[in-house]
Amino acid sequence: MKPEAILPESTPATLLFIDDEANILNSLKRLFRPLGYNILIAENGAQALTLLENETVDLVICDMRMPQMTGAEVMEQIRGKWPDVIRILLTGHSDLSSTIAAINRGEIYRYIPKPWDDNEIVLIVRDALERKNLLAEKQRLEALTQQQNETLKELNASLEDKVRQRTEELSCALESLDHAHGQLKKDYFATIHIFSNLMELRRGTMNGHSRRIAELCRNIAQGMGCPETEIQNLEIAAQLHSIGKIGLPDHLLDRPFVELSYDERVQFGKHPLRAAAILMALAPLADAAELIRYHREHYDGIGNSSGLSESAIPLGARILLVASDYESLQEGLIGRSKLAPNLALNMVINARGSRYDPDVVDVFRELVAHAGQHSHAGTEFQLTSGQLREHMLLTRDIMTSNGMLLLLKDSTLNMAHIHEIRKFEQMAGEQLTIHTHSV
């Protein structure tokens, strides 16, 4: 009867046949190769051991009587080096003592007499490999079960500690997130300040113009009880209200407004719309862009291209107009000459109710009258860069002689800041004025 074929596994088993007779090896190959196994052959024990050093073998069928090294001796060495290899002895002799020696020394799985029955030897090999696979799977499952039990034991034993640790990690993460958000917000406003400062450096005659307007806007808005969110949007609008002037020719920026021709005034007057268009694409700046758009509109509505008047004009825009005109009057950007602060204030008051919102002017007038109360609070010291130390808090912006902003007030100094300040002084050849909360 033809031996029953088996389906090869995903990784076919490898069989090693050892016999000094070529016809025996050929017979075994013809029998097992069609069944899907990988076949290796060796003509003696030494050759077999060399193969085992270089190949992964699942099962060995070895003849008992061979020259130089008997099957018992081969099986003993295989058991010592490769104990997982299934060992089957093939013998054509009724030598009981040799068979017993092979069983005892080589711990063979089975012995098969010559001549063999094809069906019987195929079934023996198949059963031996199935047994090996089942044993390996059993060991794998036992190891996995033990590992899972140990893991479960550890989890149960340390669950409370893990919950506590996770809670602490979450708390630290939230604290870190809050810090990162605060730093991001601080960097965001610093970027606005620096960008505003760069615009003013174009001509070098408006150093700190937007920064002073922004501070004045904040004070007026606080005096009118505006929410902090609206105050921040107003500060941003004040810092960036001149961004639309970037594309204007120099001769429009170098002359006071009263000296411009009608066409030049029309061209100049479009800068709020241009600024709003530039900023509107940035979602965080949309509210500030709206204030910039309307910050040149008169309170009484006369001459306003928007058609808005009085309370229809955003409050922040009405505040920005008062603050920007007050600064511009003192800097000679509107009239033919620069006005003293008291004269600039009178100009604003005289336009109360027409150009400016009366409520905004009233708060502004009160604010200017008590300007002293807005001076720097607390103890403040003026230092040189050589006196700076880490963790000092700046009470004023650090500005260069040409109006370039280096560091914002309320910044906490670190060694990188101090190094950059000293490096700038060395390269620029000027000594900076630095105000901090301590010495």
Task: Compute CA distances 365 → 179, 293, 347, 368, whole Å.
Answer: 39, 25, 11, 5
The pLDDT confidence band at residue 1, using thresholds 50, 70 and 90, is very low
pTM over 0.75: no
Q: What is the mean pLDDT of residues 137-155?
A: 85
- Burial letters for 381-412: b for 16+ Cβ neighbours within 10 Å, e otherwise? eebebeebeeebebbbbbbbeebbbbbbeebe
Q: What is the pLDDT of residues 22-71, one digit of tens each?
A: 999 999 999 999 999 999 999 999 999 999 999 999 999 999 888 889 88
Provide the pLDDT for residue 416: 83
Domain limits, the chain: 14-135, 208-375, 378-439
Burial class (CB in 10 A: 0-12, 13-18, 19+), 105: middle
Q: Confirm whether 14-135 and 378-439 share one CATH topology.
A: no
In the chain, the amino acid numbered 317 is A
- Compute the distance between CA of residue 71 and CA of residue 66 in angstroms, rounded to an integer: 7
The Cα angle at residue 296 between residues 345 and 306, in degrees rounded to 5: 145
State yes or no: pLDDT of 7 exceeds 50. no
DSSP H or E segment with residue 179 = helix 118-200
pLDDT value for 46: 94
Q: Which of 45, 151, 135 is nearest to 89 (CA)?
A: 45
Q: Taking the domain 378-439, which CATH number applies?
A: 3.90.105
User: What's the burial of 255, exposed, middle or buried (CB within 10 Å: 0-12/13-18/19+)?
Assistant: middle
Q: Tokens in use for 191?
A: 């970027």
Report the distance separating Cα 43 and Cα 62, nearest Å. 10
CATH architecture of 208-375: Orthogonal Bundle (1.10)
Read off the pLDDT of residues 328-384 as tens digits, 9 standing for 90 and up: 888 888 877 888 888 988 889 998 999 999 999 999 998 888 764 333 334 677 888
pLDDT digits (tens, 9 = 90+) for 101-115: 667 666 788 888 888
Please tell me the chain's helix, strand, coil percentages from 3-state DSSP, rounded to the nearest 5: 60, 10, 30
- Taking 90 as the threshold, does the pLDDT of residue 13 lie above it? yes
Was domain 14-135 assigned CATH 3.40.50.2300?
yes
**DSSP track, 70-104:** -HHHHHHHHHHH-TTSEEEEEE-S--HHHHHHHHH
